[in-house]
Structure 1
Amino acid sequence: MLQVTPRRRGLLAITAGCLAVVAAATTALDDAVPAHVPPGAVASPDDAVVALYQDGVEILADGSVRPLPAGSGVTYLAGSRVVDPGGPGAVAGRPLADPGPDAGLRGAVLARAETSAAWLAGGRLPGAGTRFAALGESALLDLRALVLDGGAAVAGIEPHWRYVWPRDASFAAVALARTGHVGDAVEVLEFLASVQHDDGTFEARYLPDASGVPDDRAAQADGAGWALWAVDEVVAATARDDGPASAPSAAEVRARLSGLTTRSTDAVLALVATPDGLPPASPDYWEVSAPELTLGTAAPLLAGLEASSRTHAAWHDDAGAERAAAGAARLRTGIETTFGSAGYPREISGGPSDAATAFALPPFQPTPLRGADDAWRASVTDMLRPAGGLAPGGSWRRDGISWTPQTALYALTAASTGDRDQALHWLGWIDEHRTASGAIPEKVLADGSPAAVAPLAWTSALVVIALDELDR
């Protein structure tokens, strides 16, 4: 999850060992950077140094999840995030999942890994049969580990990320649904329904026990839009006949998610019931105050209304479908007239581009907004950072740090719009910058070192969805 305010952790040295590139080379794909991706930005003495707070996650015999210290480089039991008892017994002086002489505990550890492997086998592995098979499996297993009991999809296990952002949770639900784990996806969305306000709006983030919010951070209007997009993806996954027999039926999905859908649709329609069809300003994924409307708020709300129209149509609710479609048409016109005429900048008044340009394209919109594809391609130049990844936008601080959520977002958009070469480029970059234990970090420093929290739910979900798009 993006945090603009620097963490008060000090500038610690990166302790991670060499990066592990775990992907299996099972296909011969071109690794060359596509011609439309500019060369990397130049490193600067002002480049920031951020610690790698954790190397990955470990699932214990009792099912609880804890972080691995930076530089762990552990080996997991097949198909799981359970550390191999026969592997390293300690990291940084702290014992890992070593059952010791207790045969019962050893059996519990192995049983936990077997349960995970069975879960993995019960769905579809994104990127199977390609050089990204290991990346896809790792991202999906990390995502599963970040979905706690009760469907709380936390952004990360480290305390400062151990919250549920509606945006991140929605992407997690889509990734789970697309890989055949529809039941898990529904639980994630049910958690969102349980914390949603009666008027359909969401706070910025929630405590994982659904007891409330952790602070007085301002609400973010995009949450209702992302929830609607996720519901539509779950409904579409339910309609496919290639899922496990245990998956909930279409009728059950509707019964469990109709309240979330109705409230969220009402909330978005209320926001865009303005003369120009545009919502008011709201903080977005940048997690900062927003004195004026941003594309990062407007485009997700449009995606939500488009998705709501499809969901209501699938549920044979013609009136609901038409109502959402009418709101979407007005909002689309408003975005194209304002943001589009200026080249899709971050803010409605103009200025530098933003990674939210991707939200104006598939898979979030059924058809690209007018001029959005050109703007999306052009945005890479200002967002590129020295290590080869992307920053959240052209006006983001020049600290040399690449952000994996935005880089993975561009991989997804490229895959969804048919630009396979660029999708492979961005996915390859992410694969090359994982931690020693194979997790995708939130950030990558100018020298290529992984930094901040690992894994991050949003990035893991984006990678899974991007690989699924390439598989189609």
Structure 2
Amino acid sequence: MPRHLVIGNGHIAIGFDDTAQIRDIYYPYVGELNHVGGHRCAIGVWVDGKFSWWRDPEWQFDLGYHEKSLVTNIRATHPGMELSITSEDAVHQRLNVYLKRMTITNLAPEGREVRVFFNNDLMISETEVGDTAVYDPERHVIYHYKRGTYFLFNGATEGTRLFQYSTGVKRFNHSEGTWRDAEDGELMENPIAQGSVDSVISFRLFLKPGETQLLNYWMAIGSTLDEVTDLDEYVKDSGVNMLLDRVIVYWQRWAEKSGTWFADLPSRVRDLFYMSLLMVRVHTDANGAIVAALDSDILQYNRDHYNYVWPRDGALAAITMSEAGYHGMVRPFFRFCADALTDEGYLRHKYNPDGTVGSSWHPYVVQKERRLPIQEDETGLTLIALWRDFVHHQEIDFPQSVYDTLIRPAAAFLARYIDNALELPKPSYDLWEERYGIFTFTSSAVYGGLIAAANFFRLYGNDYLSERYHKTAQMVKRGILSRLYDQERGIFVRGLVRENGRWVFDKTIDSSVFGLWAFDVLPADDERIVRTMEAVESTLTVKTEVGGIGRYEGDSYFRSGDDDAPINPWFISTLWVADWKIAKARTIGDLRAPRETLIWVANHALPSGLLPEQLHPVTGEPLSVSPLTWSHAALASTVLHYIDRYRSLVNASF
């Protein structure tokens, strides 16, 4: 199940399912640790002696956000109970506090008592062993803790505080959880539980016919009990209403910083652009980690997740955010990469949000042959992103601060890790992390990284190194044009793979060849690029009502079991083709096709505005994780490129 809503502040990230209930809480890093682990922090309602959880099918939901904001705007209705509830959820932009404002309306012709229940189902530090849930009678709150992590839960209705509480054991022996205690509308008020535990707190409202009342609920997170109790006092003193309204304004001001004019793009594309900026922001940790995704449901298919920093995804997202005007947001990412860089000068496969090395499936040895288990494109892309950030913002001091820790060692590695006979980078894993060889995308990223390094050396007065790396880049370009171009078909190949001791073409049509023009090996209108990208579009376009463009021929990742189903459309590959058309556009009319692509993306987003990794080619249902940071970064990038091209073509006509 994809995450339909995600909120956060750079220290906390919270994901919600399609019933607006919490499934993930990440702290103290965005993406690490998950203190819910995909279980459900359930919400329930009791009225007229009847109880219903929000997961019950009778509830109807309209999920979304306040405009240009990381504050949710949810409507839940239950016709049988004659209740309508709106919910606004946010993480305070500065403090580690989750805030919820519920507006509850009685649609019945008579007055009624309504009780709302919140089940706090945590597994602190990603394990259910050794948690404690306790009621504090002095503060009239529930808190959970284990070692140095505390969660405090509180709330209030108009004029009253929480009504009842209870704690208990869950998912152990025959104990299902304290949530069962709520289903009769009463809580037993057990004051403490230890081990695998949960808790429930409830609130009571008396509503006249047609009356609406507010219910506020909040959660403070910290490393000590004093810290969370201080946050609790702050929320009570300030009031949830005022705090939430300020959070809305903050994110709107943040999103509007891009100051974008949207040419002829429709409002739904504009809205998705802002949502995409916000989604990249919410997946970015304060220490610089840009996490690929926060959807823990992927654990059901592979006992791992996407809660990692791939320097590939992060660099491409950093390029987008820098283009959009968020230089200050991406600077920590480059420091993160500088700290992560090995002594040899390369970046590893992926990293945890705290900067430690992440899990990997790339071996050091295959059939007794040693390999360097990296995706070399990630090192090149980081230098490309850093140079483009400088070009956009002209802040000369920041690149200087990572000159010795990132620019020089990474450039030296790229220049050293070359097969001189081929004039191409030595083998590494491709950007899809699936195959080993010498790939067009990787070679293009290495070329772009070396050019970026040469530019930095020139900027800082080191003409010797600038000329040296520029010459190395030109050598790689020669290798690309001579070794990765299929003269017979007139297109660039995906790469070279080793067969029987020889390098041979991997002729698979792959959307990643977009890197040739995206990283300035050749212009977008070069006839070789045109033929290559036309082959990508014609071969990989999904010929169903869903449409879109797949990654590469024969892609089996999350492919449907139906043999007749084509490859799955991915948002990034679809947008790459649109980007190419934008780059080579010569008239406003040439922008019609990429404009339609942007509308297609907007039409296939989740109702809340979030973009998954890929779609089912027949049903259009989201597949793999959602939201995917890379999808949102690609959408925002294409919108920016479209606007720039539209403006330049209009100006050229005068």
Q: Same fold (TM over 0.5)?
A: yes
Residue ranges of structure 1 left out of the alignment (5+ in a row): 1-51, 240-248
1:373 aligns to 2:530 (yes or no): yes
1:186 aligns to 2:324 (yes or no): no
Shift of 1:69: 0.8
Q: How does 1:43-82 map to 2 (within 5 A)?
A: 52-59=1-8, 64-70=12-18, 73-82=62-71
Residue ranges of structure 2 left out of the alignment (5+ in a row): 21-61, 77-84, 89-97, 102-214, 217-235, 297-304, 363-372, 497-503, 561-565, 645-654
**CA separation in 1, counterparts of 2:522 and 2:396?**
22
2:401 to 240, 255, 261: 255
Structure 1 range deviating more: 357-366 or 322-331: 357-366
1:121 alignment counterpart: 256
**CA separation in 1, counterparts of 2:396 and 2:522?**
22
**Bigger fraction of residues in strand:** 2
1:278 to 395, 405, 424: 424
2:595 alignment counterpart: 424
**CA separation in 2, counterparts of 1:258 and 1:408?**
35
Q: 1:206 and 1:444, CA in 2 relative to 1: closer, same or farther beyond 3 A?
A: same
1:388 alignment counterpart: 547
Q: 1:176 and 1:126, CA in 2 relative to 1: closer, same or farther beyond 3 A?
A: farther
Check the 8 A contact 1:163/1:206 in 2, yes or no.
Answer: yes
SS at match of 2:6: strand
Q: 1:125 and 1:263, CA in 2 relative to 1: closer, same or farther beyond 3 A?
A: farther
1:8 alignment counterpart: none
Check the 8 A contact 1:89/1:98 in 2, yes or no.
Answer: no
Shift of 1:173: 1.0
Q: 1:70 and 1:403, CA in 2 relative to 1: closer, same or farther beyond 3 A?
A: farther
Q: 1:68 and 1:191, CA in 2 relative to 1: closer, same or farther beyond 3 A?
A: same
Q: 1:86 and 1:108, CA in 2 relative to 1: closer, same or farther beyond 3 A?
A: farther
Check the 8 A contact 1:56/1:454 in 2, yes or no.
Answer: no
Runs of 4+ in 1 over 6 A off after TM superposition: none
Q: Which TM-score applies when normalising by structure 1? A: 0.79
1:415 alignment counterpart: 582
1:145 alignment counterpart: 282
SS at match of 1:213: coil
SS at match of 1:98: strand
**CA separation in 2, counterparts of 1:366 and 1:422?**
22
1:238 aligns to 2:393 (yes or no): yes
Shift of 1:210: 0.7
**CA separation in 2, counterparts of 1:330 and 1:283?**
21
Equivalent pairs, count: 406
1:26 alignment counterpart: none
1:356 alignment counterpart: 512
1:289 alignment counterpart: 435
Q: 1:333 and 1:268, CA in 2 relative to 1: closer, same or farther beyond 3 A?
A: same
2:492 alignment counterpart: 344
SS at match of 2:276: helix
1:223 to 375, 378, 394: 378
Check the 8 A contact 1:299/1:356 in 2, yes or no.
Answer: no
Q: Match for 1:75: what amino acid?
A: G
**CA separation in 2, counterparts of 1:421 and 1:340?**
30
Shift of 1:67: 1.6
Q: 1:171 and 1:179, CA in 2 relative to 1: closer, same or farther beyond 3 A?
A: same
1:437 aligns to 2:592 (yes or no): no
2:636 alignment counterpart: 464
Shift of 1:434: 0.1
Check the 8 A contact 1:151/1:189 in 2, yes or no.
Answer: yes
Check the 8 A contact 1:85/1:98 in 2, yes or no.
Answer: no
1:25 alignment counterpart: none
1:312 alignment counterpart: 457
**CA separation in 2, counterparts of 1:468 and 1:428?**
14
Shift of 1:150: 0.6
**Bigger fraction of residues in helix:** 1
1:242 alignment counterpart: none
2:319 alignment counterpart: 174
SS at match of 2:7: strand
Check the 8 A contact 2:289/2:333 in 1, yes or no.
Answer: yes
Provide Cα deviations, 1:378-398, integer angstroms capped at 9, x if missing partner. Answer: 221221223211111124247
Which structure has the bigger radius of gyration?
A: 2
Provide Cα deviations, 1:6-55, integer angstroms capped at 9, x if missing partner. Answer: xxxxxxxxxxxxxxxxxxxxxxxxxxxxxxxxxxxxxxxxxxxxxx4222
**CA separation in 1, counterparts of 2:452 and 2:591?**
25
Shift of 1:422: 3.3
1:325 aligns to 2:481 (yes or no): no
Check the 8 A contact 2:71/2:247 in 1, yes or no.
Answer: yes
Percent identity of equivalent pairs: 19
SS at match of 1:67: strand
Q: How does 1:4-23 map to 2 (within 5 A)?
A: none
SS at match of 2:63: coil
Q: Match for 2:14: what amino acid?
A: R
Q: How much is the aligned-residue C-alpha RMSD, in angstroms?
A: 2.6
Q: 1:364 and 1:435, CA in 2 relative to 1: closer, same or farther beyond 3 A?
A: farther
**CA separation in 1, counterparts of 2:464 and 2:518?**
25
Check the 8 A contact 1:82/1:97 in 2, yes or no.
Answer: no
